[in-house]
Amino acid sequence: MTDSNINPSIFRAYDIRGVYGTDLTEDVMESIGNGFGNGFVKDAAVVGMDGRVSSPGLKKAFIDGVLKAGLDVIDVGLVPRGVCLFWAWKVKKPSAYITASHLPKEWNGIKFAYDNGVEFLEEDNRKIGEVVLKGKYKSAPSPGKTKTENVIDNYKKFILSKISRAARPLKVVVDCGNGTGGLVAPELFSQLGFGVKTLFKDVDGDSPKRPWVVEDSALSELKKHVREADFGVAYDGDSDRMSLVDEHGRVLGPEVASYIILQDLVKSEPGPIIANVECLKIMDEIAKRNGRQIHRVRVGNSFLVQAVLEKHACFGVERSGHFCIPSIIPMDDGIAASLYAACALARTGKKLSQIVDSLPLYPFKRIKVDCADELKFGVIERVKKRLSAEYANVNTIDGVRVDFDYGWVLIRASNTGPLIRLSVEADDARKLLELGEKFLKILSEEIEKSK
């Protein structure tokens, strides 16, 4: 029998997410905690949260659900996402982190991870949803116990033991966005020898001074202040994503940050490079320059980190701003990635803008096309068949990507909304326009056929 009071749409491919008070309440979260404890926890789990106003109450409810299933909880409290993952990895326990990442304050949710730091794959996220929706609540004869631990200092010491001090005392502006990054990042930059100016350091889940995203449109204050420094860095709400900003105020894509990291990392670390299917073709050129293989994976940082571990890669990157440097910490951690990138930059002896200007960046465009949730995956299957029959270099691991000598196209359904995204990159603006128009026409035709 299903629980008709719970909106099934909160159970997503990568996490659980909904509007607080409407889709996600304390009662719902207790059921989710119980479902997590009922099958995914052996003895204990690590639980943390971001700085949203609703997070403390939802965390308590989630923990109550786990305890009623008879399992123990290690509560690490308000910490960046990477700190929660780190401690779960150290104590070899699965973890749950209360967050809606970069979404507005009205939202909240939860991300699960296995004891090796890999986020739950879609299959296991769905299993929790099935257990909860079927009302399979587990009440153990005796409840579990909660142990509260302050692990931020452990994380700081660990990171400082893995990253060498800056070769030059560069000046950095750290934009924490009133998220969890302010709890650790400014101090770590300072400990590594950087001159630090901090923006929006205090955690504020009610009225943050900027949106919890690391996109150009949200970083106006950082772009202004960084002109008096050597570079800037920004984090999202739970600090698992990061963006670098050069001294001219240009917000850099994850591929540019990857270049800076890899120019230094490959000197000491063996192994291939992992990038998802959305990443720009500069990643292929970076791999070629450094004599490394590159493996493309599905979108989603669970697939990214899993591939890094399975293929013994030196590095992994997601187009959305997630990074994994396993020689530092074998999981997705925006703070660790930003610190390594900063120290790598300091070792170059160059300005960040000089490095950016030397890179071959090509025109790129992403087009969002409305498509109903019940149709979008069927449309993608139709597009796969059509393009696989027409073109030679086709990748269908996640949507369908077609590569040409002069560019590439990716058509992929959104996992979070009624959208299909068309991404195009080409050697010049004319080819970009041609590819965009051609494949948008194909996509539109297949959507019409599916209606």
> Using CA atoms, how far apart are residues 383 and 389, in angstroms rounded to an integer?
10
List Cβ<8 Å contacts ≥24 apart for 394-397: 395/277, 395/296, 397/277, 397/296, 397/297, 397/298
Annotation marks residue 101 as catalytic: yes
Q: Which of 55, 95, 101, 423 is catalytic?
A: 101
Q: Which residues are catalytic?
A: 101
